[in-house]
Amino acid sequence: MRRRTLGLALAAVTLAGVAGCGSSESGSGGASSANGTGATRVTVGVIPIVDVAPLYLGEKQGFFSSRGLDLEMVAAQGGAAIIPGVVSGQYQFGFSNTTSLMIARTKGVPVKSVVNGAASNGKVGGDVTGVAVRKDSPVKSAKDLAGRTVAVNTLQNIGDTTVRESVRRDGGDPSEVEFVEIPFDQMPAALDGGRVDAAWMGEPAMTVAEAQGARVIASPFAETDPKLTVATYFTSTKLAQENPSLVKRFTEAMTESLRYASEHPDEARRILTAYTKISDDVIDDLTLPSWPDRVDMASLEKLASLGEKDGIFGGKKPDVEELFS
């Protein structure tokens, strides 16, 4: 077992008092000129987790400023809060898992993915998310989750969909798994205290759980597809139509950021201290996702089919090409 430490505050916190983005330039879709610099102020709704490290690293490296963009990152608890913020113009861009974006499009929400965000690293047993159980649990593999309770951060989303696929692949009955909704930062305590039989967690929650003796019995992302595109950055269709130049500059800068983070993982780890409260010794042990500069369409088609099977799209399968290409 890798060395773990408990001395950290989890990153997934909600920041209150989200500020507006100021007055708009004509045709800017809500973006505004930064004071005295001539750069365009761009507000990005993010979740303060490991996955968004390339965005902060790219800002530090000047990939955005060199394209005339002045970034303001605003933290939210999840995509459920970020998506309406982007649609309303509160944020010009946002970060969300791909299933949430699919659900939004099937409900007629006008959003469009513009660039990749994060992907599975493809390592079963060492992916960026995993299903953990207590050390003394009788659950040995994914099929044993049938008839047991599993914590996910959001019901009817990418977590339970991919967990079901792990159970299915292992020969179990996914319909017998009972999912309960618990925030990521509360999952280690819920698991250790016996409130749930298992928990689907990402970093840094997994670090805390393993420090308490938990063991990983499934890697739903990698088991669903080793190249699974987990999250992307997106904008509103209104902004994409009204200000394609802004979208192009953001996409180019983010693409360069993803490539840089992939080539400099140690720098990506270090940048976490800029927007989380994860301690340095824990950062060295965190599992990182993959940061390819392109989405994997085949994996997204698979994810959409699984979501359709689970009934999370209300009978209307999302048009993956329209949303992500």
Block means of pLDDT (10 residues each) for the chain, length 325 residues? Answer: 36 28 39 66 93 97 98 86 94 96 96 98 95 97 98 93 98 97 93 97 88 96 98 98 97 98 96 85 87 98 95 91 95
79, 96 in Cβ contact below 8 A?
yes
User: Domain 32-120+227-324's class?
Assistant: alpha beta
Rounded to 5°, the CA angle 101-104-107 comes to 155
Q: Rounded to 5, what percent of the chain is helix, strand, coil? A: 40, 20, 40
Q: What is the pLDDT of residue 7?
A: 36
Determine how many CB atoms are found less than 10 A away from the CB of residue 17. Answer: 5
Paired tokens of 321: 């090409």
Looking at the DSSP bridge assignments, the partners of residue 41 are 32, 70
DSSP 319: -
DSSP 19: P
Paired tokens of 272: 């976490």
Q: What is the pLDDT of residue 28?
A: 46
Q: What is the pLDDT of residue 38?
A: 82
In CATH terms, are 32-120+227-324 and 129-224 the same topology?
yes
Q: What is the pLDDT of residue 8?
A: 35
**Helical H segments across the chain, by residue range:** 53-61, 79-88, 98-106, 158-169, 187-192, 205-211, 220-224, 237-242, 244-263, 265-270, 280-283, 297-310, 320-324
Q: What is the pLDDT of residue 137?
A: 97
Q: What is the pLDDT of residue 32?
A: 58
Q: What is the pLDDT of residue 277?
A: 80
Domain boundaries, the chain: 32-120+227-324, 129-224
DSSP 227: T
Cβ-count burial of 267 within 10 angstroms (0-12 exposed, 13-18 middle, 19+ buried)?
middle
Level-2 CATH architecture, domain 129-224: 3-Layer(aba) Sandwich (3.40)
pTM surpassing 0.75? yes
d(CA 221, CA 243): 34
Say which residues have a Cβ less than 8 Å from residue 157's Cβ, sequence separation at least 6. Answer: 97, 99, 100, 103, 312
What's the one-letter identity of residue 144? D
Q: What is the pLDDT of residue 23?
A: 28
* Cα-to-chain-centroid distance, residue 149: 23
